[in-house]
Amino acid sequence: MAQDAERDAMRDALQLARRGPRGVNPQVGALILAPDGTVLAEGWHRGAGTPHAEVDALSKLAPGAARGATAVVTLEPCNHTGRTGPCAVALLEAGVGRVVFALDDPTPLAGGGAERLRDGGVSVEGGVLADEARDLLADWLTVQRLGRPHVTVKWAQTLDGRAAAADGTSQWITGPAARADVHRRRAGADAIIAGTGTVLADDPALTARRDDGALFDAQPIPVVIGATAVPADAAVRRHPRELLTYDTHELTAVLDDLRRRGVQRVFVEGGPTLASAFVAAGLADELLVYIAPALLGGPRLALGDIGVASIDHARRLRIAALDTLGDDLLIVARPAEGTP
């Protein structure tokens, strides 16, 4: 069983992992601990072609300094040679006596590092703070497991579940703090999707903007789904990234094409019709629900028919986070284990 010092080190390693870029490769952090728990070195993966976290940490030590030490890593050390060599071999050659990691590597090519370390006489323990690591790598894990981008579906609603008033007005249900949070999350996505109904009704720019209105350096690719043409003067056509349009209701086909284009993180912000379609299709990996302390009543629900006929078939979720943003509440939810 992992010791308290190892669990504390794993928390630090997860923070180190967040320093690395989100992209094709997973964010990984590592610490090397002396037998008394003292941190000897730390490292993280800085992107494709750079040393992996374990090797980055080992590189900061003198030869032989890691002998008998414990390596704490957020992802199982890899067991293959790509642009860099196998981290499992690097740890063996450094003389590390114990390896603690959070998640098994799900990729057939890179997995197996734990077994290789055990075969080399190293004490190995996996699954330490696995839930925290899984939340950090949720989008990368989705791509590895399902072969499609990770999908976040966002909507804003009143306390009684309405996305708009009876006359269709919806700006603004939530306050400035919640809207700023949305824009920060947009900037972390590779693509943002809206439906043609939303584009025609609200004329959104689909950009990620700072509090002062300036654009974030990172901008998601704007994507519009629907049969109706996007008007020539629509705000989304002035987006700094090229607009992608899909005249189809086949969401899986859209995601497959986006994956071929290198997209890993999709942000769906297209109104109740599109949100309901992604949820009904079992394609929502994460829900961001912004709730304002207001009541509207009426028929304009934030989510429509998702194919649930009885309570027995409810789409069960687990709450990943609860945040207060000004007067509003953000619930981050993900499908419960075994739920489509």
Q: What is the dihedral of CA 85, 89, 91, 95, to 10 degrees?
A: -140
319 forms bridges with which residues in the sheet? 333
- Burial letters 262-286, b for 16+ CB under 10 A, else e: ebbbbbbbbbbbbbbbbbbbebbbb
Domains and CATH numbers, the chain: 4-136 (3.40.140.10), 142-335 (3.40.430.10)
The amino acid present at 73, given as its one-letter code, is: V
Which of the residues are catalytic? Answer: 54
| The pLDDT value given to residue 15 | 95
For residue 100, give the H/E element and its range.
strand 98-103
Enumerate residues 6+ apart whose C-beta is below 8 A from 144: 106, 107
Provide DSSP, 182-204.
HHHHHHT-SEEEEEHHHHHHH--
Backbone torsions φ then ψ of 204, nearest 5 degrees:
-75, 150
| The pLDDT value given to residue 241 | 95
Question: Which residue pairs, CB below 8 angstroms and at least 24 apart, start in 44-50?
Answer: 44/16, 44/17, 44/19, 44/20, 45/17, 45/20, 46/19, 46/20, 46/21, 47/20, 47/21, 47/23, 48/23, 48/24, 48/83, 49/83, 49/84, 50/84
The CA-CA-CA angle for residues 106, 110, 114, to 5°, reads: 80
What is the rounded distance in angstroms from the CA atom of residue 20 to the CA atom of residue 255? Answer: 25
Q: Give pLDDT tens digits along the chain (340 positions).
A: 668 889 999 999 999 999 988 767 889 999 999 998 899 999 999 887 888 999 999 999 999 999 999 999 999 998 876 666 789 999 999 999 999 999 998 886 667 889 999 999 999 999 999 989 988 898 888 888 888 999 999 999 999 999 988 888 888 899 999 999 999 999 989 999 999 988 988 899 999 999 898 999 989 999 999 989 999 999 999 999 999 999 998 999 999 999 999 898 999 998 899 999 999 999 999 999 999 999 999 999 999 998 988 998 888 999 989 999 999 999 999 988 655 5
221 forms bridges with which residues in the sheet? 191
pTM of the predicted model as reported, rounded to 2 decimal places: 0.77
Q: What is the dihedral of CA 273, 277, 279, 282, to 10 degrees?
A: 180
